Amino acid sequence: MKLRKVTAASAVVLALALSATACGSNDKKDEGSSGGGGKIKVGIKFDQPGLGLKQPDGSFSGFDVDVATYVAKELGYKSDQIEWVETKSADRENALARGDVKFIVATYSINDERKQKVDFAGPYLLAHQDLLVKSDSDISQGTDLNGKKLCSVTGSTSAQNVQKSIAPKANLKENAGYSECIAGLQSGAVDAVTTDDSILAGFASQDKYKGQFKLAGLKLSNENYGIGVKKGDTATVDKINSALEKMVSDGSWDTAVKKNLGPANYKNEPAPKIGNIVK
């Protein structure tokens, strides 16, 4: 009889323990499924100073990083819950389609071809193709590049646009990356570098280059940067647009632009109308 009482008591203890374990497991699962305890993967560039740059200590900085951090916060995620994923230009659409990231903030210009493959929130910045020159340069318009050395990255359409329609006698030098072009501009090996003004401003804003370069301010094209989202995920697009509207209205957008791109005398356009997806 005594043995039976002990056995029954043990059974009750065991049942309570199993119940507590089950509840604990469910609580943990629920926490991980929300911003409160889960992670969010966000695509950015790792090699664009002022926009998306991975620092030697493993941290990340830049305007795109600040925008992405603000958006993630509005979606319910703290900064330490963000997992940054490098998304190079050629792989952005695939990264979204595979579900590698929730959204991408990486100088991602909106155009009709890309809109067939992904959805965009934003735009959050209007950039323009421009020239970066030395601070004492007399280059002030596109035609001044005739006979001068112009640098851009291999395969870039920016330099080709200049050669074809603005300065056909410009001597084009192509490098693997913009870092090499900027170093060439500093040394005098080239006279100008061309790509989006935001990218140029980011490179020029680095401490080692501050005060050495200036943007020509030519506005050779319109580049509306959007936040890429998996095709069909309209709910996330709407949430991101709401976050961007708040970022603009509370002044955080202006602060981020000036902090990351201002040192190169970057004269940014006003924040574009959120939700106005244009080519």
Q: DSSP labels for the chain?
A: -HHHHHHHHHHHHHHHHHHHHHHHHHHHHHHHTSTTT--EEEEE-SEETTTEEE-TTS-EESHHHHHHHHHHHHTT--GGGEEEEE--GGGHHHHHHHTS-SEE-SS-B--HHHHTTEEEEEEEEEE-EEEEEETT----SGGGGTTSEEEEETT-HHHHHHHHHT-TT-EEEEESSHHHHHHHHHHTS-SEEEEEHHHHHHHHTSTTTTTTEEE-----S-EEEEEEEETT-HHHHHHHHHHHHHHHHTTHHHHHHHHHHGGGT--PPPPPPTT----
Q: Check residue 177 and give its pLDDT.
A: 84
Element (H, E) at 230: strand 223-230
Q: Check residue 52 and give its pLDDT.
A: 96
Q: Which residues of the chain fall short of a pLDDT of 50?
A: 1-34, 279
Q: Contact 215/131 with Cβ under 8 angstroms?
A: yes
Q: Check residue 14 and give its pLDDT.
A: 40
Q: Check residue 278 and give its pLDDT.
A: 56
Q: Check residue 161 and give its pLDDT.
A: 84
Q: Check residue 36 and give its pLDDT.
A: 59
Which pTM was predicted? 0.79
Q: Check residue 194 and give its pLDDT.
A: 95
CA distance 99 to 97: 5
